[in-house]
A and B are shown apart, each in its own frame.
Chain A
Amino acid sequence: MVNFKKLSVFSVFILIFGLFIPKIVHAEETLKFGMADPLTGPAAIFGKDQAQAVTWAVEDINAAGGVRGRKLEAIILDHQAKPEVGINAINRLVEVEKVPVFITAFSNVVKAVAPIANRTETLMFSVGANAPVIKELGDYVYTTFPLADVDMNKLPTYLIQKHGKKRAAVLFVNHETGIDGAKVFSEAFKRDGGDVVLFESYEQERSDFTGLVLKVKAAKPDIVHIHSVIRDFTAIVSQMRQLGLDVQVTSYQTAFNPKMIEELGEGAEGIIVTALAPSVEDNDNLQGYLDRWQAEENREPIGLPYTQYFHDAPYIIAELFGKLIDEGKEINGTNLRQALLEIKTFDLPLTNAVTFSDDHTVDKPVYYWQVKNGKFTLIGKSD
């Protein structure tokens, strides 16, 4: 048994050093950037497709000659949508892989890793996290994705004016995205003359929503807005339909998911969701992108609008790298941030023009989609 003990300890150390050292000494002339996203765990359903979008974008940029002749390289790591895993992933990207810029998503992770970006002066792009607090996370933290106060401010106006809805029940998961999104929606709904007849949260990991659905039924709303993760959204709507509640349901971009329609079947009909990325009608490249998904994966991407933003993030980064190369400046986080402040507006393949405001955020039109005949159909767009 002594041998077993020694062998185990020895193996661990061999693994640690044997695996780490070759990565440290192996240097390449590529322009590296980091990406940390959930590749395992429940949120991987989104993360894997987002990583795929980034991989394709990098391939396309390199196929078109790279950045001033240099190849772009994405170092993609898993953060499981967990803050503590995200911290390790970002530390590795910044300290081991030496990336001057990285992209990540999921509000809890974005908040956890923001101090690392600020401390190490590494430029950080949040792509897909939408908690409004993200704009206050520090000098080096920017978002390429509109925060919840954009679509949740506009959706109530649209529902009241175009659909004549007056009484809303708001259900939300008790985590940051759920709380913030639900608050913004409710305040905007009341601001526009509507009445919030129920404002109810539930804890994560819950699977039985019968009590919640019965409360909704008693409140007699003409619309139910659900701000939650996709698994809960599907479960709540399913239980609503089972209990005979056929009221109009709305949600945000996370419900823009073909799997949701697949799972709910007819129960999904009529659901309205927001999306912050352009539709095929507004973007010339999107159809080609969707065709690529069909050709290579035989399906639509999960969370299409999110993947559009992820796809475009390498183009922003490539432009920043290009500017520094042109100006002969050192490529580091500080200079990349300065380049971002100077360029400000980027014309991107799948999300059109994006302008970074002084508060580190971007503003975009909101697209409204409704499930009709088992498919998402564009029904409107904000100004």
Chain B
Amino acid sequence: MEYFISLFILASINIILATSFNLILGYGGLLSVAQPIFFALGAYCSALIAIYFEIPIFLSIILASLVAGIFAFGVSLPSLRVSGDYLVVSTLGFQLGTLHIINNIEITGAAGGLSNIPPLISHPYRSLLTLFIVVCFAVLSIWMVRKIMRSAYGRAITALRNDETAFSSLGRNPIRIKVLIVALSAAMAGFAGGMYSHYYLYITPEQFGIFATATLLTMVVIGGAGTVLGPAFGAIIITTLPEIITFLNLPVSIMAPLQGVIFTGLVLIFIFLKPSGLIGSTRGLDGLEIWKK
């Protein structure tokens, strides 16, 4: 049972992460590749705060989430003056640079990773209770994004994504909106990172590299960028599918290429046959359709 609980905890954490990424990618139309690094900031900060200051774990997760948000605010101010390819390059630089720092300083455990992280819950039903909490926050994150996108502010985000020039000509400040959604999204990712570190109790820099970005992007694309529930479904599929494959008990010579083919195949199938994603509607601008403009 613990195995399934652990898997669903990871899926729920990924739901928060994918939902946060969807806010900037799907709704904001901003292609940032640095989302896993905000997840990492949350994971490392929360773990370090808990280890060195011995404050309640949940408080350390909240503080780490704020740290991730503040970092995102600081980074996005200059980088959001650019967009498109330039934004990809600047966020990639931020991701690699931050990982390099984490990889080389003693306090984060450097390349060896950070262990001895205190658990969020120390109880015989630790995993079950953690699952309950993480599922609640996953639902909360989806609800929050839905609420934002249905508000006047959400309509402004959509308008900005659809036509920044027209949006600016109405006297609105596009940078302000971009910075705020990036900061909010990073705070959500940081929160997910905090939950991750206090459940799995060990983190290493290699978990937050470019492969993590690709996985996250796949979750959002498959589920449906720019939809409320799409990234959540994408997160569940991408988290559970590799485990499901292992239960097929296939020979290694088949399993190794199959894993690569499945992920690449899924992305290609959705790009060409269902660019709006699993949950995306056939009308309007959802999923990858928003990038066709």
Interface: A19 (CB within 8 A): yes
Contact B206 A92 (CB under 8 A): no
Interface: B115 (CB within 8 A): yes
CB distance from A251 to the nearest CB of B (A): 18
Q: Per DSSP, are chain B's interface residues mostly helix, strand or loop, or mixed? A: helix
Number of residues in A with C-beta < 8 Å to the partner?
A: 48
Q: In whole angstroms, how far apart are the Cα atoms of A96 and B247 in the complex?
A: 11
Interface: B244 (CB within 8 A): yes
Interface: A1 (CB within 8 A): yes
> Which one of A4, A40, A88, A180 contacts B112 once the chains associate, using CB atoms below 8 Å?
A180
Against B, the Cβ 8 Å flags (1 = close, 0 = not) of A120-136 are 10000000000101000
Interface: A279 (CB within 8 A): no
Q: In whole angstroms, how far apart are the Cα atoms of A131 and B113 in the complex?
A: 12
Contact segment of B3-11, B20-28, B74-82, B151-159: B3-11
> Which one of B2, B207, B233, B255 contacts A39 once the chains associate, using CB atoms below 8 Å?
B255
Closest chain A residue to B211, Cβ basis = A82
Contact B202 A83 (CB under 8 A): yes
Contact segment of A104-112, A208-216, A234-242: A104-112
Interface: B186 (CB within 8 A): no
Given the interface pairs A88-B243, A108-B204, the reply to whether A19 lies near B111 with Cβ below 8 Å is no
Interface: A12 (CB within 8 A): yes
Contact B279 A5 (CB under 8 A): yes
CB distance from A202 to the nearest CB of B (A): 11
Contact B240 A88 (CB under 8 A): no
Which residues of chain B (1-40) have a CB below 8 Å from chain A?
Answer: 1-4, 6-7, 10
Q: In whole angstroms, how far apart are the Cα atoms of A88 and B245 in the complex?
A: 13
> Which one of B204, B241, B243 contacts A92 once the chains associate, using CB atoms below 8 Å?
B243
Q: In whole angstroms, how far apart are the Cα atoms of A112 and B199 in the complex?
A: 11
Against B, the Cβ 8 Å flags (1 = close, 0 = not) of A37-67 are 0011100100010010000000000000000
Q: In whole angstroms, how far apart are the Cα atoms of A179 and B10 in the complex?
A: 30
> Which one of B3, B103, B279 contacts A96 once the chains associate, using CB atoms below 8 Å?
B3
Interface: B172 (CB within 8 A): no
Contact B111 A179 (CB under 8 A): yes
Please, which residues of chain B bring their CB within 8 A of the CB of A163? none
Given the interface pairs A12-B237, A16-B244, A175-B112, the reply to whether A95 lies near B207 with Cβ below 8 Å is no
Interface: A87 (CB within 8 A): yes
CB distance from B204 to the nearest CB of A (A): 6
Q: In whole angstroms, how far apart are the Cα atoms of A301 and B206 in the complex?
A: 28
Contact A111 B115 (CB under 8 A): yes
Contact B2 A78 (CB under 8 A): no
Q: Per DSSP, are chain A's interface residues mostly helix, strand or loop, or mixed? A: helix
Contact B204 A40 (CB under 8 A): no
Interface: B173 (CB within 8 A): no
The listed residue with most B CB atoms (<10 A of its CB), out of A5, A131, A180, is A5
Interface: A25 (CB within 8 A): no
Given the interface pairs A15-B244, A174-B103, the reply to whether A40 lies near B252 with Cβ below 8 Å is yes
Interface: A23 (CB within 8 A): yes
Contact B206 A39 (CB under 8 A): no
Q: In whole angstroms, how far apart are the Cα atoms of A131 and B202 in the complex?
A: 15
Interface: B246 (CB within 8 A): yes
Contact A19 B247 (CB under 8 A): yes
Q: In whole angstroms, how far apart are the Cα atoms of A95 and B113 in the complex?
A: 25
CB distance from B255 to the nearest CB of A (A): 6
Interface: B45 (CB within 8 A): no
CB distance from B283 to the nearest CB of A (A): 10
Given the interface pairs A1-B282, A4-B274, the reply to whether A111 lies near B112 with Cβ below 8 Å is yes
Contact B204 A91 (CB under 8 A): no
Please, which residues of chain B bring their CB within 8 A of the CB of A200? none
Interface: A77 (CB within 8 A): yes
Please, which residues of chain A bring their CB within 8 A of the CB of B2? 91, 94-95, 120
Q: In whole angstroms, how far apart are the Cα atoms of A41 and B111 in the complex?
A: 19
Interface: B147 (CB within 8 A): no
Interface: B256 (CB within 8 A): yes
CB distance from B104 to the nearest CB of A (A): 7
Q: In whole angstroms, how far apart are the Cα atoms of A89 and B245 in the complex?
A: 12
Interface: A115 (CB within 8 A): yes
Contact B279 A40 (CB under 8 A): no
Against B, the Cβ 8 Å flags (1 = close, 0 = not) of A71-89 are 0000001100011110111
Please, which residues of chain B bring their CB within 8 A of the CB of A12? 236-237, 240-241
Q: In whole angstroms, how far apart are the Cα atoms of A179 and B113 in the complex?
A: 12
Interface: B200 (CB within 8 A): yes
Against A, the Cβ 8 Å flags (1 = close, 0 = not) of B80-107 are 0000000000000000000010011000
Contact A84 B7 (CB under 8 A): no
Against A, the Cβ 8 Å flags (1 = close, 0 = not) of B249-293 are 000100110010000000000000010001100100000000000
> Which one of B4, B112, B237, B252 contacts A131 once the chains associate, using CB atoms below 8 Å?
B112
Interface: A204 (CB within 8 A): yes
Please, which residues of chain A bring their CB within 8 A of the CB of B207? 82-84
Please, which residues of chain A bring their CB within 8 A of the CB of B6? 87-88, 91, 95
Contact B206 A20 (CB under 8 A): no
Against A, the Cβ 8 Å flags (1 = close, 0 = not) of B206-239 are 1100000000000000000000000001001100
Which residues of chain A (291-323) have a CB below 8 Å from chain B?
Answer: none
Contact B110 A179 (CB under 8 A): yes
A-B contact pairs, 8 of them (CB 8 A): A44-B256, A83-B206, A84-B207, A87-B200, A88-B243, A95-B4, A174-B104, A174-B110
Could you list 18 further interchain pairs (A-B, Cβ under 8 angstroms) beyond the known A5-B278, A91-B7? A4-B274, A15-B244, A39-B252, A78-B246, A78-B252, A83-B200, A85-B242, A87-B6, A91-B6, A92-B246, A95-B2, A108-B112, A108-B113, A111-B112, A131-B112, A176-B111, A178-B111, A203-B103
Hey, which bits of chain A sit against chain B, CB under 8 A? 1, 4-5, 8-9, 12, 15-16, 19-20, 23, 39-41, 44, 48, 51, 77-78, 82-85, 87-89, 91-92, 94-96, 107-108, 111-112, 114-115, 120, 131, 133, 174-176, 178-180, 203-204
